[in-house]
Amino acid sequence: MTGYGGNVLVRGGTLVLPEGLVKADVLVEDGVITAIGRGLSAQGVDERIDASGKLVLPGIIDEHVHMREPGLTYKDNFTNGTKAAAAGGVTTVLEMPNTLPPVDSRKAFEEKKALLEPKAYVDFGLYGVIHDSNADNFDELVHAGAVGFKIFMGPTTGNIPSPSDGTLYEILLKSAKYGVTLAFHAENWDLVKHFTSKIRSSGRSDPRAHLEARPVICEEEAIQKLILFSKKTGGRVHIVHMSAEEGVELLRQAIFEGLNVTGETCPHYLILTADDYSKYGNLMKVNPPVREKHHQDALWKAVREGVICALGSDHAPHTREEKLKEVWKASAGFTGVQTFLPLMLDQALRGKLPLTKIPELMSENPAKLFGMYPRKGTLRIGSDGDLVIVDPNSETVISEENLYAKHPVTPFIGWRLKGVVKYTILRGTIIAVDGKVVGEARGRWVSRIQVDN
C-alpha cells in the first residue's frame, strides 16, 4: 500500500467496454486495477460492492470544463465543480485555461495547479492557452505537463485574443513535434461580428436570433483553415463543440485523408435543436449555437460512426442573472459536468447510441487525445481504478437541489432520465454514492504522459 489509492472489489456487474459487454468482477488494489475476472477472491479487500444487475464503466473523463477558478469564482469554483463531477460519474476533468489570470505561462500553470489540487474531488488535468504574445511559452507549458492547449479563434471569457495565422502555423508545428493536442474553438470571429451586427441591427432580440448571428459558415471557414494547417504541419487539431453538418463533412474528409484532425461534440448539440429556443430561451444560449434538426442528425451519425470521436460537456457556469439578460447580453454556456453522463446514458438507454460507445467517447478517446491513456480511460490491468457503477433500470430527475453548482442554471432542470449513477470510484476509493459526494477532496493533478505511437 503506497497511498496511491484504495482497495475495492466490484462483484457481479456487467462491464461496459468499447468492445462489448461482459460479466466480470473488478479488483482494485492501492488505486490500480489488478484483476478482472469471474469469482475473484476478496482476500484482504475491505471494500466490496455488489454490482449485480448494474453496469460498470470506466470513470468518465470530461475533456472540456470551465471551472472558473481562479478569477471568476462568482460564477462557480473548483470545489463545487469537482463535487458535481464526482456526483455525476466523472472521475477526471480537463480544465480550460481561460480563467483569470489565463494559463499562458509555466508560472501561471504552476500557480493554478497548486491552487486547485487541495480543492479537487476528482483528478484533473490542465490546459494551457496560446495567443500571439505568449507563443514562446509553448514548450515550457508542455514540459510543465499541460494535457493540451486551447486555442480560441475568436475572443472569449477572459479576453484572450485569437492568434494570427502566422502564430497558428508555428504552434501547429510545435503540436506535431510534441504530439500534443490543440483544442480549437473554431469560429471565424470576424464573420461572427459581421453577422451579429447585421441581425442585431435588424431589430431581432428573440433567443433564436443568436443562432442566426452565427451561421454555419463561421464554423466552416475556421475548420477548413485548421485542416489545411494540420495538413501542412502535421499538427494535432481537435475541433471542440462541433455543432454543424458542414463541419462534420470537413472532418470526415480530413480523417479519410489520414490527417491528425479529430472532433468533439457536446450533449446539448445532440439533445436540443433550434425548435427548443422557444422553450428554454437564453438558458440554452451557447457558442456555437444549437442548430436545426438536420445538424443534430448529422452529429448523431458522426458520433455513431466514429467520425466525431469524443464528447465533452463544455461545462461553463454563469450566474442566473448573467443567463437571464436579453439575447445579445446573456452569457453563453451553462453548467454541464454533473449532467454529462446522465444525459448520454439516458440517450443510450433509449436506443440512440450503443452503450459500448459511452466508454469509447467519454473515457478512452479523451484519455488518448490528451496523453493519459492507458493510465486513465480504460478498464485494464495496471490502469487507475476509476469506475462508475450505474443502474440501468432506475430513473432520475435533474433538480436544482441535486446540482452542486453555485448557480444551478441549465435547460435540463426537471428532465427525467433513464439510468442512475450509483457509485463513483476514484483510484479505488468510493467518492460518491447515489449522487452525493462522500469523503474528502482526494483528487490529484494529472500530467500528460508521452506515449509512443
Nearest to 339 by CA among 282, 409, 387: 409
Which is closer to its own copies, CB of 192 or CB of 430? 192
Window of 121-129, 335-343, 373-381, 429-437 that interacts with its own copies by CB under 8 A: 373-381
Binding to its own copies (CB under 8 A) within 24-63 occurs at 24, 27, 33-41, 43
Tell whether residue 361 is a contact of its own copies (CB under 8 A).
no
Tell whether residue 225 is a contact of its own copies (CB under 8 A).
yes
Tell whether residue 319 is a contact of its own copies (CB under 8 A).
no
Q: Exposure pattern of 57-76 as b/e (b: 16+ CB <10 Å)?
A: bbbbbbbbbbbbbbebbebb
Tell whether residue 262 is a contact of its own copies (CB under 8 A).
no
Window of 72-80, 92-100, 333-341, 376-384 that interacts with its own copies by CB under 8 A: 376-384
Among 193, 208, 352, 442, binds its own copies (CB under 8 A): 193
Tell whether residue 177 is a contact of its own copies (CB under 8 A).
no
Q: CA–CA distance from 197 to each of 209, 388, 390 (Å)?
A: 11, 46, 47
CB of 168 to its own copies, least distance (A): 9
Decide if 289 contacts 214 (C-beta within 8 A).
yes
Tell whether residue 306 is a contact of its own copies (CB under 8 A).
no
Tell whether residue 257 is a contact of its own copies (CB under 8 A).
no
Among 7, 262, 378, 396, binds its own copies (CB under 8 A): 378
Tell whether residue 384 is a contact of its own copies (CB under 8 A).
no
Decide if 222 contacts 251 (C-beta within 8 A).
no
Which is closer to its own copies, CB of 107 or CB of 232? 232
Window of 14-22, 78-86, 260-268, 282-290 that interacts with its own copies by CB under 8 A: 14-22
Tell whether residue 232 is a contact of its own copies (CB under 8 A).
yes
Among 1, 2, 19, 401, binds its own copies (CB under 8 A): 19
Q: Angle at the Cα of 197 (from 193 to 200), degrees rounded to 5? A: 135
CA dihedral 162, 165, 169, 174 (to 10 degrees): -20
Please, which residues have CB within 8 angstroms of residue 395's CB and are 6 or more apart in sequence? Answer: 416, 417, 418, 419, 420
Our separate counts of H helices and E strands in the chain read: 15, 19
Q: Which residues pair with 61 in a beta bridge?
A: 92
Tell whether residue 169 is a contact of its own copies (CB under 8 A).
yes
Nearest to 302 by CA among 256, 237, 363: 256
Q: What letter represents residue 124's amino acid?
A: F
Tell whether residue 356 is a contact of its own copies (CB under 8 A).
no
CB of 22 to its own copies, least distance (A): 5
Tell whether residue 300 is a contact of its own copies (CB under 8 A).
no
Helix, strand, coil content of the chain in percent (nearest 5): 35, 25, 40
Q: Angle at the Cα of 256 (from 233 to 127), degrees rounded to 5? A: 50
Tell whether residue 292 is a contact of its own copies (CB under 8 A).
no
Q: What letter represents residue 252's amino acid?
A: R
Q: Which residues bind its own copies (CB under 8 A)?
A: 15, 19-20, 22-24, 27, 33-41, 43, 164-167, 169-170, 188, 190-191, 193-195, 197, 217, 220-221, 224-225, 228-229, 232, 256, 258, 305, 374, 378, 380-382
